[in-house]
Structure 1
């Protein structure tokens, strides 16, 4: 499915924004803004949309964004990670210029979810870095904001925790960088950079953040084993029951993000001796998928499960090559 727009609201900001963006010597050097590890408990879901027209284009000429997206979305792998508490960190030193707290943590798709019109950012914080530069942090957890307006903050200082507030379907941080009131792409902020240049030009990120934010052609968000068929909601909730020797079935599951039209997803389930128990290769995707889940299972044999290590592998086949792959195991 195509995830709904996760726009940051201008009403959290202090007044209207005017002027043109430009990178200069006064631009802040941005550190990674979350206490999580890309590839382990979080992933990049969307980049800044650099296409000025009706199309979409990220800074590497891919489509890991959506129309008009004005920031970077870093997504937690599931709601269990949100409940554990992942800190949102100030990307650079500055002073708190605005905030909001008290908005509920609930998916906009959930029954009974209230309108978020005018509060799309949900709970959030704005930090002013001087010389016209600000960063805005959206979708924080209710009651988690730890700073006050006017407070000076250091780079890496916790501002709050990732939540599910505002215009969002899943827990993530939406980070917007603005200069003189206009949102800029932190990977390529120079206004003269061609939208199709396909490289980072004068990125605002520091070297450590750039390494952690290395571009991927899509990503694996979740993998695991459980005992029965699963759905996206079950994977998002986290905490699926793990199989043991008494399990009626051994089911491997995976959730991927930002797949492309034409991609084929292959899943393989293997036994302790490496023999293939089950294998499936899906038909080519008919369109881009912001997220995609699949599972593959085998029933318990009449003689029961053999003790040992069972494995699973996913491969995303794209234009004749393997674009994404991941393997995982479980011991029974």
Structure 2
């Protein structure tokens, strides 16, 4: 039997980052990594997606005990007090198609919540999520005092009940937009005896990880290589685009009659000093538009860039138009994507 939402106030421990700044605090104690991983269940990847292709890790656990931030590799892929791992979908179109959340290990469902709306906390008229930041979610207990929690799931998608035994990989529901979030993702938290444990580096020390598997199975760890930043979206449009339009995932493809040809790209988790560049070329290989922004002054949860060219008087030359997006870091290209359209 599912617990009533009012019973699950203590269940709502996982909030999500604001997109503009890594400064929102989590629940009390979220910044303290948990005890040693003795007897921990091996964790499988908790989403039916492919990191680097159909999903990305946006944030890791914040291991810094003070006001700063530090992930398990001593990077900044986190924000103040973040107590879990955020596995993000590229846009709302992917979320609407349905992406399944999976039990990371065998256990028993302790609690569920469903019925909360799928709506960005920044949307006009969005209801308060105070005390229910996790939104729709599932908590599973495992042997040895371990627990995994799955937040921001889609309303009406929860597929398990409190008290139910589940195996690793069992479907729990789908990724949604419920609770304290602005984009579709799973917020995945691991705890032991009520304390947050970083699944990538479960010890209490503050030293950086060396790429070991942590609590993950070797197969799961191999699917999640550490990457400081990722390109989430790239494509073409017939008009300038906004971040909301990209997030919506419904930008129309331009045709030969388009008055403007726009190339756009969006990256996540960029670092101070990174430079983003976008170059649009015509069928003959000549550059039609190019932009390279000055170095970023601060960490960016996401950064969007677009460039465009008006249709020539004689119309668009027939052929393939190519755009290339690059992120430069200390003089080296660390992220790049080439994409094409035919007019």
**Band of TM-score, shorter chain:** over 0.9
Residue 327 of structure 1 corresponds to which residue in structure 2? 338
Partners of 2:34 and 2:201 lie apart in 1 by: 15
User: Are residue 303 (structure 1) and residue 314 (structure 2) matched?
Assistant: yes
Residue 324 of structure 2 corresponds to which residue in structure 1? 313
Partners of 1:20 and 1:86 lie apart in 2 by: 29
Structure 1 window deviating more from structure 2 (195-204 vs 297-306): it is: 195-204
Point out where structure 2 has 5 or more consecutive residues left out of the alignment: 1-19
TM-score after normalising by structure 2: 0.90
Match of 2:79 among 58, 66, 70: 66
1:237 CA drift (Å): 0.6
Partners of 1:112 and 1:9 lie apart in 2 by: 28
1:97 CA drift (Å): 0.8
User: Are residue 170 (structure 1) and residue 189 (structure 2) matched?
Assistant: no
Residue 300 of structure 2 corresponds to which residue in structure 1? 289
Question: SS in structure 2 opposite 1:81?
Answer: helix
Residue 21 of structure 1 corresponds to which residue in structure 2? 35
Residue 156 of structure 1 corresponds to which residue in structure 2? 169
Q: What is the number of equivalent residue pairs in this alignment? A: 322
CA contact (8 A) 2:23 2:79 kept: no
Structure 1 stretches (4+) deviating beyond 4 angstroms? 6-10
1:232 CA drift (Å): 0.4
User: Are residue 2 (structure 1) and residue 21 (structure 2) matched?
Assistant: yes
Residue 186 of structure 1 corresponds to which residue in structure 2? 199
Residue 148 of structure 2 corresponds to which residue in structure 1? 135
Residue 287 of structure 2 corresponds to which residue in structure 1? 276
1:90 CA drift (Å): 0.5
Partners of 2:312 and 2:243 lie apart in 1 by: 27
Partners of 1:7 and 1:73 lie apart in 2 by: 13
Point out where structure 1 has 5 or more consecutive residues left out of the alignment: 11-18
CA contact (8 A) 2:109 2:161 kept: yes
1:42 CA drift (Å): 1.3
1:9 CA drift (Å): 9.7
Partners of 1:47 and 1:28 lie apart in 2 by: 19
Give the direction of change, closer, same or farther, for the CA distance of 1:56–1:177 in structure 2 (3 Å limit): same
Give the direction of change, closer, same or farther, for the CA distance of 1:166–1:4 in structure 2 (3 Å limit): farther
Question: SS in structure 2 opposite 1:209?
Answer: helix
Match of 2:240 among 208, 212, 229: 229
Counterparts of 1:247-258 in structure 2 under 5 Å? 247-258=258-269
Q: CA RMSD in A?
A: 1.9
Give the direction of change, closer, same or farther, for the CA distance of 1:221–1:48 in structure 2 (3 Å limit): same
Match of 1:118 among 100, 125, 131: 131
Structure 1 window deviating more from structure 2 (195-204 vs 140-149): it is: 195-204
Give the direction of change, closer, same or farther, for the CA distance of 1:173–1:331 in structure 2 (3 Å limit): same
1:196 CA drift (Å): 3.5
